[in-house]
Amino acid sequence: MELDQTNVWITTRRLRPGTRDEFSRAWRPSEFPEGMLRAYECYSPDGNEVVGISIWDSLESRERFRLSEVESKRRQAMAPFLIDERSGFYLGRELKIPSVARPLFSTEDVDPYHALRNRCRGPPVADRPV
């Protein structure tokens, strides 16, 4: 998914120690809102901080949800488990990171052109079933 000029809502919440499971149940909306394209729930290793990241089709969609009764009830349900909360709305973009898992060519490739062509098209012609 391209994140060029994507609408991103990020909220960071510090939780009362030992309340992660209860918070997680309270945090999930009863219905996912129109305009929300993706959502992520990220916890710190100790479980006492959670970052919510949601991707929206527009600022207006996010605002409708933020001001909705569903969100109001969700926030009330989360309140007993929170120490503090910060949030912001951002325009984001995806950074292209070159793959490091497997080099395009290895030292065993004698002819890089044919090695690349074979990786893109499948096995060499001689190895393909007739």
Q: Which class is domain 6-92? A: alpha beta
Q: Could you tell me which residue, 38 or 94, shows the higher pLDDT? A: 38
Q: Is residue 50's pLDDT more than 70?
A: yes
119 phi and psi angles, rounded to 5 deg: -65, -35
Q: Cα separation of 89 and 54, whole Å?
A: 10
Sheet with 82-92: list strands edge to edge: 36-43, 49-56, 6-15, 82-92
Which residues pair with residue 91 across a beta bridge? 7
Q: How confident is the model at residue 94 (pLDDT cuts 50, 70, 90)?
A: confident
CB atoms within 10 A of CB 9: 20
Q: What pLDDT sits at residue 5?
A: 79
Lookup: tokens for 36 = 């929300």
Q: How far apart are the first and last CA of the chain?
A: 38
Q: What pLDDT sits at residue 117?
A: 42
